[in-house]
Structure 1
Amino acid sequence: MAIECVDTVVVGGGQAGLAMSEHLSKHGIPHLVLERHRIAERWRSERWDSLVANGPAWHDRFPNMEFADIDPDAFAPKEKVADYFVAYARQIAAPVRCGVEVTLVQKNVGRPGFRIETSGGAIEANNVVAATGPFQRPIIPSLVPEAAGVLQIHSSAYRNPRQLPGGAVLVVGAGSSGTQIADELVQAGRRVYLSVGPHERPPRAYRGLDFCWWLGVLGKWDAEIREAGKEHVTIAVSGAHGGQTVDFRRLAARGMTLVGLTKSYTNGTMTFAPDLADNIARGDANYLSLLDEADAYAARNGLDLPFEPEARLIEPDPECVTNPILELNLQEAGVTTIIWATGFAADYSWLKVDAFDAQGRPKHQRGVSAEPGIYFLGLPWLSRRASSFIWGVWHDAKHLADRIATQRKYLAYHAASKRQTPMRAVEMQQQ
């Protein structure tokens, strides 16, 4: 059976894969996008029911298409986001094959290119773009044994409060996902404990403008290097309920119990670090510093924006912060569910090439890997802070497509020069 050949294979049909397809098409580069499920599947089946985008519709989109039937300042529900990408794939005529899983990528032996084994047969390509993104394998720490008698799920498996057994819930992780899930559970009448680690806490909006706008004009989306020590610090921001600033003190006032970073589990008791007040204070400092930068920018540029002094009001610490719980017996507290909002790990087990370091992390420069012909797209901080966001991945994809196009030109020149060499030899003999 003949093996299908194409210049570039893009693995993953989410936002990264579609962005890559658009820019490859602009260069006229033959390619395929392989998606094991549906386009933007994770938005549909690996997120909770009430999820909305964390950025407004004017910001969290590709440059060449707006959201339909959504106010630009509103936050798109997850199904609308998935529908947006399906419509975008149609608009750019992306060559997406759904239901095709890539199981293995290997270098060809003695010749250029790669062999891609898939559930639909083998393909050969000169280039492979790993556009599977950062949310591949849910991380659930092996702290609490199954014998503990509590339901343990990752945030990607949470759908709604009705899914959980009755009783209290411990949510571990206070980034965007953990905070929004914990808030939803409190509003559903659940007793909730939220484990809060180090985090950044930007304002949802300030002086009438969304924080996405402020990060843009302040150059923070384009930051290329994260501050030392903050490589794994999560961001607590939400588009839920029309978009509100995450304020842990207000969550506590509504009945949520805040605890520090989750440390260990022994004989039915969860132990937390005594760092809750410090984590809250550092989040406040991050919040206030952004307000300072915004005020300075507005003054320097003469922007006529309404003042918002109430944004700087910090309420007193609640009892759970001043007198934190360091140990929690789950049975005595009535905790029947632990939701681990602890992030994801990459899974490149299918990519058998020399493009990873000793810890299994991709070796690359702005997505161009150490293995010629292999590219990475959609990873956090691939080139800058915005890299894993919708509009940021679009710009990263342009850079990679430009690189692939440049390499094709070099190879085309080499092939043409080989064809011309015999003719040139005849010309020289005739001279």
Structure 2
Amino acid sequence: MAHIDPHTTHYSVAIVGGGQAGLSLSYYLQQRGIDHLVLEKNQLVHSWRSQRWDSFCLVTPNWQCNLPGWSYAGDDPHGFMVKEEINAWLEGFVVHVDAPALEGVVVHKVARSSDNKPFSIQTSQGTFTADQVVVASGGYHKPIVPRLAERLPAHVTQMHSAEYRNPQSLPEGAVLVVGCGQSGSQIAEDLHLAGRKVFVATGDAPRCARFYRGKDVVDWLADMDYYNMPVTQHPLREGVRDNTNHYVTGRDGGRDIDLRRFALEGMELYGLLTDLQGNELRFQPNLQANLDHADGIYNGINASIDKYIAAHGIDAPPGGAYTPVWQPAAERSSLDLAASGISSVVWCIGFSPDFAWVDAPVFNGRGEPVHVRGVTQQAGLYFLGLPWLHTWGSGRFSGVARDAQYLAEQIAARAGAVDCAEESELLLS
């Protein structure tokens, strides 16, 4: 990391968060000669090291890994890096950026008394000030575990997906995976492939095909310019930020995740988990609806690819709609914990944001920042690295560089405007 003067407490820009977003912005600020400091409460790119299970791999192809000045340069652009490869690639990015960063520093509060005053940044290592602040700590802060968890028997091991590492880390017995988004479906598959008895409480997560009509679906969507669509042009507008990610996997070269096929192989599927009464788990009778919804999204994406192929006269292998390979015989609304042999529960229902430390009037009723492409209504305060901050890739390796470059331009423009205003005041005084 770049040398930092320990006596300096004021910076033009403070970046809170040293992940892919914060480091990307540091890269562009260095290009512009803007002094700044990155504050990271753990290690740089910590979340990739700590919140991924052993068999984790990317769900988007390697060619989409495009951080500033640090694109994927391996020999498998259409493959999917595994955990160790991702961390090695990110370690290279850390060295490449050489950001002025402090690790192990917790930010307790960011506030400003008025627009013409610097921001005060209270941390575990004292107070810093900055003319502008960028919150680049992501949107996945607090693991979501429902209060129902408190009523499960003490002998049942519980963990959040962020803590899961491998099947061997769980005690013998069946496992209940709650949630079927990207983490839930992949962890369920990981356990299933290891020969564990798996129960899955499904939700309304969508899914997509890995490959369709001769190419990875991601390649088709890139050709269709989907990844350049700004949130303002998406049919759901900002509502798309609430969507669950489609489940699919890059494991073993990439494939679909089809819960119905797993059910044929012995995985037990249920609807949405709602309650625990005595020794019985209770579920909504909506398994069929959840599976049909996921398949409907799957077929809808493929249909859009069909239209694109037809409109452009592309020679591609034939396509077709997915036909369910399994149907639930009946909806089951309860499951006896003891009879099922469940010894572990893995909660895979996501994270909630926690920006309580940002003391600024820029949040909506749900505690989410209100912004336009990361720029808030409080002058000099920005957000970076959030899902659909601007495009689909804003919270991913594929789009965060574009967002960081844009914010660097906004920061430089504001710094220049402030300097001009101060010079005018001096001339008039």
TM-score, with length taken from structure 2: 0.91
What is the match of residue 178 of structure 1? 184
Comparing 156-165 and 368-377, the one that deviates more:
368-377
Question: Equivalents in 2 of 1:19, 1:62: separation in Å?
Answer: 7
Instruction: Output the amino acid matched with 2:329.
Output: T
What is the match of residue 428 of structure 1? none
1:268 aligns with 2:268: no
Instruction: Output the amino acid matched with 1:305.
Output: A
Instruction: Output the amino acid matched with 2:323.
Output: I
Identity, % of aligned pairs?
Answer: 36
Equivalent residue in structure 2 for 1:220, among 226, 238, 250: 226
What is the match of residue 44 of structure 1? 49
1:384 aligns with 2:391: yes
Comparing 21-30 and 400-409, the one that deviates more:
21-30
What is the match of residue 429 of structure 1? none
SS in 1 for 2:399: helix
Give the direction of change, closer, same or farther, for the CA distance of 1:408–1:357 in structure 2 (3 Å limit): same
Deviation of 1:414 after TM superposition, in Å, equals 0.9
Please tell me whether the aligned partners of residues 180 and 240 of structure 1 are also in contact (alpha carbons under 8 angstroms): no
What is the match of residue 105 of structure 1? 110
Please tell me whether the aligned partners of residues 9 and 127 of structure 1 are also in contact (alpha carbons under 8 angstroms): yes
Instruction: Output the amino acid matched with 2:16.
Output: V
1:316 aligns with 2:321: no
Deviation of 1:11 after TM superposition, in Å, equals 0.8
Deviation of 1:43 after TM superposition, in Å, equals 1.1
SS in 2 for 1:199: coil
What is the match of residue 238 of structure 1? 249
Deviation of 1:2 after TM superposition, in Å, equals 6.0
Equivalent residue in structure 2 for 1:307, among 313, 318, 324: 318
Instruction: Output the amino acid matched with 1:273.
Output: Q
Equivalent residue in structure 2 for 1:284, among 272, 288, 295: 295
> Structure 2 matches for 1:77-88, cutoff 5 A?
77-88=82-93
What is the match of residue 158 of structure 1? 164
Give the direction of change, closer, same or farther, for the CA distance of 1:23–1:226 in structure 2 (3 Å limit): farther
RMSD: 2.1
Please tell me whether the aligned partners of residues 237 and 246 of structure 1 are also in contact (alpha carbons under 8 angstroms): yes
Question: Equivalents in 2 of 1:120, 1:208: separation in Å?
Answer: 54
Give the direction of change, closer, same or farther, for the CA distance of 1:107–1:2 in structure 2 (3 Å limit): farther
Instruction: Output the amino acid matched with 1:314.
Output: T
What is the match of residue 64 of structure 2? 59
Question: Equivalents in 2 of 1:110, 1:368: separation in Å?
Answer: 15
Comparing 170-179 and 279-288, the one that deviates more:
279-288
Question: Equivalents in 1 of 2:310, 2:351: separation in Å?
Answer: 40
> Structure 2 matches for 1:365-384, cutoff 5 A?
365-384=372-391
Question: Equivalents in 2 of 1:412, 1:130: separation in Å?
Answer: 23
Give the direction of change, closer, same or farther, for the CA distance of 1:285–1:176 in structure 2 (3 Å limit): same
Instruction: Output the amino acid matched with 1:337.
Output: S
What is the match of residue 426 of structure 1? none
Comparing 189-198 and 225-234, the one that deviates more:
225-234
Instruction: Output the amino acid matched with 2:23.
Output: L
CA offset digits 1:226-252 (Å, max 9, x no partner):
638863434212111211112121111
Comparing 210-219 and 234-243, the one that deviates more:
210-219
Structure with the greater alpha carbon radius of gyration:
1
Deviation of 1:114 after TM superposition, in Å, equals 0.9
Deviation of 1:60 after TM superposition, in Å, equals 3.0
Runs of 4+ in 1 over 4 A off after TM superposition: 108-111
What is the match of residue 211 of structure 1? 217
CA offset digits 1:314-333 (Å, max 9, x no partner):
13324xx2323210111111
CA offset digits 1:73-108 (Å, max 9, x no partner):
111112322222221232233222222222222214
Instruction: Output the amino acid matched with 2:324.
Output: E
Give the number of aligned pairs: 418
Give the direction of change, closer, same or farther, for the CA distance of 1:418–1:236 in structure 2 (3 Å limit): same
What is the match of residue 18 of structure 2? 13
SS in 2 for 1:349: coil
Question: Equivalents in 1 of 2:299, 2:152: separation in Å?
Answer: 44
SS in 1 for 2:39: strand
Structure 2 residue runs without a partner (length 5+) = 1-5
Please tell me whether the aligned partners of residues 174 and 343 of structure 2 are also in contact (alpha carbons under 8 angstroms): yes
> Structure 2 matches for 1:285-364, cutoff 5 A?
285-309=296-320, 312-318=321-327, 321-364=328-371
Instruction: Output the amino acid matched with 1:294.
Output: I
Question: Equivalents in 1 of 2:72, 2:282: separation in Å?
Answer: 45
What is the match of residue 174 of structure 2? 168
SS in 2 for 1:73: coil
Please tell me whether the aligned partners of residues 41 and 82 of structure 1 are also in contact (alpha carbons under 8 angstroms): no
What is the match of residue 427 of structure 1? none
What is the match of residue 3 of structure 2? none
Question: Equivalents in 2 of 1:416, 1:215: separation in Å?
Answer: 49
SS in 2 for 1:241: helix
Question: Equivalents in 2 of 1:181, 1:190: separation in Å?
Answer: 11
